[in-house]
Chain A
């Protein structure tokens, strides 16, 4: 009779539904459908959807493409020359390497312009956590993820690694300038 003894009706699926339960079931169902359609709606009308464009890659292939961008568009360097600051043109393909334990190079973008940002890892999983905007994307080795980004505010942004990647994890921070 109670929940810890067998039900008094053998055929429990014929047990009646209480009105409170029926109404709640209907409300909850509608809410679940609203949440489902929100995701689809945002794909059609929202402007923050994570791209799914992904290619298999290798550290060598990706590093070569990033190096080509750096060679062409470097405007200056920071931290004693360790980090080139690269200002590629709008609408171009831009590259950021995640590796133990830095993001390389520093990118300089223009507000309101669009870029195809390529992300991959040279070694372990890393996390792309853009701060203070707070956009968080997983970086998985072997996969080149192409995310189309349109910065909407100028300023200095940091890229914090937020996937645990070993003892130097807490030192892994990169930078993006938006002019």
Chain B
């Protein structure tokens, strides 16, 4: 069967792009960057208000801006980019046409309409309810409707992705199993479908409540189902950015996964267990039983933690094996020293891996522990944790991938390559600092989503310790540095797209060239034959474990000194 479309083989990467898929990727990626820009501008307002000595915005503006920052970043920037990644992982990696391009465009249109509608509702001012929009606090109907339209669009895009996999299979554009990266993308999509359905179950009644069709939505039920949506969507991000890590290991080093079975098995664990972790947002809530909390957050979540710990070894491990094959064999870490630190695609991903694991991962498991949750719930520790996961982990990985895509997908020479080289360091490392001081302030109890830590106008004001003020000041300093890093990314990306030198698009053909089959390798036939192939990564993993164990038990010690609670 042939459908009128063309396939372009990129002369720089050898990747083959189908013309419809290429345009869709471009559109989704551009929309993503636009929302990153908006979210970044809003971050200036957020951060300069939480910096106590500046305390810039008025309370109502601050809450409005914070609501928009959360939604534009966490939902719109990330999901638009993820849709582009899904199309890449299906159509490009499997070298097939995209299924139903018209439907994919309709999905894109719905997402844009929804995102704009939601943003307008927030700026109009009667929807400063934060992205979680806990009932009974209500936003304008268009706030919920915008989110619902966006979600429907994203759901349709997920099905276009799945349809494209079917096309590839039917038209035999590859043989055997899908690549690991595509497998990771499938994981993300399956979780996405579950997530969006949960979102619909709770946002649709809330929308009906906002227009007066129904009388009430129970606040505790809302929280429970909202987090089945809110937390699971973070697992989409994790699956997506870990897929990108494997992809970048392959692109930069030609690395192959150490063991397909282990890496894919780890992705499967995400599907099986991650969504249950939504319970860890409800650990400080009334009404839920201890057993429910312990089983959902720990027993099952720890299998998901196990999966992340596996990827934490196997991604650098794959890079290490590839480097060692090139002869960088000296000692434990020559492979790492000789890595291309000047290539932002690599450095971005590596800074993301380390920050995601050490800052986001460890803090996430600590706060997801039933009892320990009481010492950080709703403090600024929480945004400290998730800026490590969703900014250092996901956002920085997306940025790193973009640097690869500028010549390959955008067909432009990157403007300001020197600036791009520094960008992951500036953005990533200042985010490290930002997350650490937020967690520090949170450990002292400072609240999140709070306009004034001096409690102006309160009869019973509390006085935070000086250290808390100092840390919140540092949040400001590191935050501004990170915003600068984000601005460089946007400048380089948008600038290259607009006025970068046009590059050779490569040969265009009417039909696809299928993915060539790969010959079985000897090593892969024998069980456990390779031995200790990645000792450096193993040592890194042990250092990680040491930090993890130490920090975990320090927090139990801290907890044990509090008031008795039972």
Contact = CB atoms under 8 A, between A and B. Distances in A.
B256 A18 contact: no
A49 interface: yes
Contacts of A27: 545
In this complex, which of B289, B456, B459 has the most chain A Cβ atoms within 10 angstroms of its Cβ? B459
Contacts of A134: 375, 379, 443-445, 562
30 contacts: A2-B249, A2-B254, A2-B257, A7-B179, A7-B257, A10-B175, A10-B176, A12-B177, A18-B528, A20-B258, A21-B313, A24-B313, A25-B306, A29-B306, A35-B298, A52-B287, A119-B286, A124-B136, A131-B445, A131-B464, A132-B445, A134-B444, A136-B374, A136-B445, A137-B377, A143-B287, A144-B286, A148-B564, A165-B137, A172-B458
A162 B283 CA distance: 15
Interface in A113-168: 114, 119, 123-125, 127, 129-145, 147-152, 158, 160-167
A54 interface: yes
B207 to A, nearest CB: 19
B507 interface: no
Interface string B360-377: 000001000111001111
A85 to B, nearest CB: 11
B259 A16 contact: yes
Interface string B555-566: 010011111111
A9 interface: yes
B250 A4 contact: yes
Given A8-B519, A17-B527, A148-B565, A173 B461 contact: yes
A160 B462 contact: yes
A173 to B, nearest CB: 5
A25 B63 contact: no
Given A8-B519, A19-B532, A175 B460 contact: yes
Interface string B506-519: 00000000010111
A38 B550 CA distance: 14
Interface of B is mostly: loop
Given A16-B529, A124-B137, A6 B445 contact: no
A155 to B, nearest CB: 11
A48 B562 contact: yes
Contact of A1 (B310, B518, B545): B518
Nearest to A128: B284
Nearest to B377: A136
A79 interface: yes
Contacts of B518: 1, 5-8
B59 to A, nearest CB: 6
In this complex, which of B249, B290, B444, B515 has the most chain A Cβ atoms within 10 angstroms of its Cβ? B290
Contacts of B294: 36, 39-40, 43
Nearest to B454: A170
A83 interface: yes
Contact of A28 (B60, B260, B306, B527): B306
Interface string B257-289: 111111111000000000000000011111111
Interface in B425-483: 443-445, 447-453, 455-462, 464-465
A16 B548 CA distance: 29
B59 A15 contact: no
B317 interface: yes
Contact of B250 (A2, A28, A51): A2
B369 A162 contact: no
A8 B516 CA distance: 11
B495 interface: no
Given A21-B310, A123-B136, A135 B378 contact: no
Contacts, number: 354
In this complex, which of A6, A125, A132, A169 has the most chain B Cβ atoms within 10 angstroms of its Cβ? A6
A17 B136 contact: no
Nearest to B464: A131
A53 B414 CA distance: 60
Nearest to A166: B137
Given A20-B534, A170-B59, A50 B299 contact: no
A119 B302 CA distance: 31
A4 B287 CA distance: 46
B264 A13 contact: yes
A160 B531 CA distance: 55
B371 A48 contact: yes
A123 to B, nearest CB: 7
Nearest to B538: A20
Nearest to A23: B538
Interface string B303-318: 1011001100110011
A23 B531 CA distance: 11
Nearest to B459: A79
B218 interface: yes
A162 B379 contact: yes
Nearest to B566: A148
B530 A19 contact: yes
Given A21-B258, A27-B545, A124-B136, 7 more contacts: A15-B261, A39-B294, A78-B460, A123-B136, A132-B445, A140-B286, A170-B450
Contacts of A58: none
B444 to A, nearest CB: 7
A174 interface: yes
In this complex, which of A14, A138, A147 has the most chain B Cβ atoms within 10 angstroms of its Cβ? A138
A3 B180 contact: yes
A3 B285 contact: no
B405 interface: no
A67 interface: no
